[in-house]
Structure 1
Amino acid sequence: MIKSRFYIVIILLFFSCFSVVSQTRKQLELQRKQLKKEIQQVNKLLFKEKKKEQNALDDLKDINKKIDIRNKLISTINLEASLLSKEIKKNKKKQVVLNKKLTDLKTDYADMILKSYKSKSQQSRTMFLLSSQNFYQAYKRLEYMKQYTSFRKKQGEEIVVQTDLVQKLNDSLLYKKREKDTLILSEKDEKLIIESDRKNQEKLLSTIKKKESRYKRDLKKKISEERKVASKIDKIIRDAIAKANRKARARLKIKPKSTKKNEFILSPEAKALAAKFELNKGKLPWPVKEGLVVRKFGKQRHPTFPGITVNGTGLHIVTSKAINAQAIFNGVVLNVLVNSGGRKNVLIQHGNYISSYNNLEKSFVKKGEQVKTGQKIGAIFTDKISGKTKLIFVLFKNTTRLNPSSWILKR
């Protein structure tokens, strides 16, 4: 009985260890699937369209992203394979324990059958009962025979259970070994693809080095233009706040000194909308159905020229052709701006929050229009040279830019 309990404790410990490892491996499996999905998106959104004109800097950035994701995938595969190895090792130890228990059970059962057989050959059950000195002894002997028969039956059932456990464990080990072999093969395939990508990366770096001064000049010009556009948008928002607040002050008879500069004076309805917007932080939908972030929010060193800093005013999201920009929350169209190239930027106000959808070819909404969450607000522009369809998504609280990644759903 003590021996049986000892085995049960050992098995429970093994199973508890296995569940912790399994949980971690499930997370890695999900991460691996997510990275594979991301690689498919990279290939679809950044490499599917044949570019009419080569831009080595842009191409290098794309291939760097591809390599980076594949490296993450290889790292995840290695971790997953490592955990599988540990699981297989633990399962083998568990198999030894179970096999030992099964052998002990079979030996005990065989001894019991042998004793039972000898007992039957020496005297029958009836004689065993009739030879009792009194009724109480006969009753006790009868109970003993019942318990003995029951114990034999339980041992037989336990042997069946343990045999089944050992078989399932053997099947599990075989499956895990196959799973590990598949992961190792997958890792080899990914490494071969990275090797090919690295060759292309080296070619692009060589091209850039030959014309480095030209690329730097063009890049600085582009950064300067982005700054000017951002400043214009900032001014437009400040002007819109000032205009809205003048009307609000006149309506509510509020003195200018009692309100903060560059902050919306909110009506009770607008306050409620802003509060709902805040409650949905981290749960807001993406401004596109599918997309890949190619530039993050905030200041970041340029991947090719470390001396140059790029400022991400929001998220640059590459998506598929014919995918429209959609509102991330209920609100009212604050403005529809048009740049020198004819591309549009829709600004939607959600209380004292503003979401900006820039680089649109067409706008489906107009100033002052009420919009709903998920409503299509414009067709995103597709660059004929690069073949990319890119939305620039920016988020404000009054005039302060926010990191949209903290507000929209994680993908």
Structure 2
Amino acid sequence: MIRFVVILFSIFIFSAAVTAQAQASKEQQELEKERQQLRRELEETQEQLNKNKKTTKEIISQKALIERKLSLQEKVIDNISQDINFLDNTIYKSQRDINKMQLLLDTLKQDYAKSMVYSYKNRNNSDFLNFIFSASSFNDAIKRITYLKSYRNYREMQGQNILRTQELLRNRINDLSGTKKKKSTVLQVQAKEANVLQSQQEEKDQIVKQLKAQGKELNNVVAAKKKQMAKVSNAITAAIRRAVEEAKRASAAKATEERKNREAELKAAKNSSDNNDNTASTKTIAKVPKKTVIAPVNKQSELLNTDAAVTLNENFKINQGKLPWPVDKGYVLLHYGPNKVGDVTIVNDGLSIGCDIGAPVKVIFGGEVVLINNYDDVELVVVKHGGYFTAYSNLTGVNLNKGEIVQIGQVIGKVGANLDGVGEVKLNITKEKGDLNPEQWLRRR
């Protein structure tokens, strides 16, 4: 029984080692795939930065691109660190399996040596014959012969197990050696990427230094941006206010129409009651108003005055964190909230995305166009989604009409150049009572 357990244990060690190795390989492949994607994004960001430096002296966008490069580079290093952790774990498991196999091999060799010593001591044929003929019955003799055959087979199986375990041990040692070499290579890559990160940090520090040196010129740029942001914000606020007023008027008109219908029904019921007895007419008049009473759809907002508006509002809400970006490629130029630019702070009520001039801009969720506005030679589009609004500013080539229904992913215009000559689209997400952070609503890129 003990020998059988030893054999099963050797098989279990081999199966576990193969399974663990396959799983680790799959995880490392996923890490490598993620790393390749990060490198592609780094290359795209570097191309945008090079293009920016050639076409404009706009330092704010350069700072945003450098910050994006730093973020991507840090993700690459974190990815490599995870790979190193997997390799460390693989090395630990391989060493553990080697120790177990070595122990198993020693046990098998000791057991085999004992059986060989026993066989040597009982090598005389007369001993085997005496063992068989000393049986008390014929059946007992048959059992003894069977036992001798089984013992001989067991010794052969012992030898095979020793050879198999030695082969497994050699393979595991080779795997361990290969993993250690791979870890050494990955560590070198990590050191190289850390140097790249350091150089990028120095580049960012240089740009920040230039921003601080711009002084009055930077203040003028920031003042112009704030003025433009105010125009967009006021236009969005006005569009929301008009949408609320239109919803109120629609609700009032609907209530007036329902009241007229009830009055007409009551009048018809009263005329009908003149041809019946008093009891019957009283029951009829009492029942008619109850059938025509319609409860309001939603009391929280005038904008949610229909079932369709409520459904659209809920669908937009449950997609928080899953909405697509308005452009296929781009980088965050200014985040939502306060942004430090040199010694100046710009408070952004939306998300400013830098990208190529002329790139298509897509609506991030289906809804109704409630505003198309021109300002500073560019355009603004506001779309209503129940009680939510999305606004896309700094557009060109808008070909829409107010009241038009747009679908998610539909192109509504192109990216225009901002005041500094850089491609930019600004996304605002608002509710009736305030701004929301678009980065919390868009999916991670």
For the superposition of Structure 1 and Structure 2, which TM-score range results when normalised by the shorter chain?
A: 0.7 to 0.9
Q: Which amino acid aligns with 2:361?
A: A
Distance 1:263 1:182 in 2: 63
| Identical pairs, percent | 26
Residue 409 of structure 2 corresponds to: 374
Residue 401 of structure 1 corresponds to: 435
Q: May I ask how many residue pairs the two structures share in their alignment?
A: 404
Residue 97 of structure 1 corresponds to: 100
Alignment of 1:139-158 (within 5 A): 139-145=142-148, 147-149=150-152, 151-152=154-155, 155-156=158-159, 158=161
Which deviations, in whole Å up to 9, do the C-alpha atoms of 1:223-262 show, x marking residues without a partner? Answer: 243134212321222122212321232124499xx98797
Structure 1 residue 379 displacement after superposition: 1.7
Residue 267 of structure 2 corresponds to: none
Which of structures 1 and 2 has the bigger CA Rg? Answer: 2
Which deviations, in whole Å up to 9, do the C-alpha atoms of 1:62-120 show, x marking residues without a partner? Answer: 32432343244335434543553354244224323322322332443354356446655
Structure 1 residues 117-126 or 229-238, which shifts more? 117-126
Conserved? CA contact 2:61–2:333, under 8 Å:
no
Query: Which of residues 350, 358, 362 in structure 2 aligns to 1:314?
Result: 350
The yes-or-no answer on 1:293 pairing with 2:332 is yes
Distance 1:377 1:321 in 2: 15
1:248 is paired with a residue whose SS is helix
Q: CA 1:321–1:122 in 2, change beyond 3 Å: closer, same or farther?
A: farther
Conserved? CA contact 2:303–2:309, under 8 Å:
no
Query: Which of residues 337, 358, 366 in structure 2 aligns to 1:330?
Result: 366
Which deviations, in whole Å up to 9, do the C-alpha atoms of 1:43-69 show, x marking residues without a partner? Answer: 233334553331334323432432343
Cα RMSD after superposing both structures: 4.0
Residue 293 of structure 2 corresponds to: none
Structure 1 residue 353 displacement after superposition: 1.9
Structure 1 residues 166-175 or 352-361, which shifts more? 166-175
Greater relative CO, 1 or 2 (CA 8 Å, sep 6+): 1
Distance 1:222 1:143 in 2: 97
Distance 2:419 2:166 in 1: 67
Residue 362 of structure 1 corresponds to: 397
Distance 2:329 2:55 in 1: 24
2:136 is paired with a residue whose SS is coil
Q: Which amino acid aligns with 2:374?
A: V
2:397 is paired with a residue whose SS is strand
Q: CA 1:46–1:234 in 2, change beyond 3 Å: closer, same or farther?
A: farther
Q: CA 1:181–1:60 in 2, change beyond 3 Å: closer, same or farther?
A: same
Structure 1 residue 23 displacement after superposition: 9.6
The yes-or-no answer on 1:248 pairing with 2:251 is yes
Structure 1: runs of 5+ lacking an equivalent: none
Which deviations, in whole Å up to 9, do the C-alpha atoms of 1:283-319 show, x marking residues without a partner? Answer: 222222233333322x2240532xx433232222233
Structure 2: runs of 5+ lacking an equivalent: 260-295
Structure 1 residue 336 displacement after superposition: 1.8
Residue 269 of structure 1 corresponds to: 308
Q: Which amino acid aligns with 2:340?
A: H
Query: Which of residues 180, 183, 186 in structure 2 aligns to 1:180?
Result: 183
Q: CA 1:116–1:380 in 2, change beyond 3 Å: closer, same or farther?
A: farther
Distance 2:160 2:386 in 1: 70
Distance 1:127 1:24 in 2: 63
Q: CA 1:167–1:347 in 2, change beyond 3 Å: closer, same or farther?
A: farther
Which deviations, in whole Å up to 9, do the C-alpha atoms of 1:371-396 show, x marking residues without a partner? Answer: 2222222222245965x432212222
Query: Which of residues 311, 317, 322 in structure 2 aligns to 1:278?
Result: 317
Conserved? CA contact 1:109–1:156, under 8 Å:
yes
Query: Which of residues 317, 334, 340 in structure 2 aligns to 1:302?
Result: 340
Distance 1:373 1:153 in 2: 72
Conserved? CA contact 1:355–1:395, under 8 Å:
yes
Q: CA 1:393–1:206 in 2, change beyond 3 Å: closer, same or farther?
A: closer
Conserved? CA contact 2:301–2:387, under 8 Å:
no
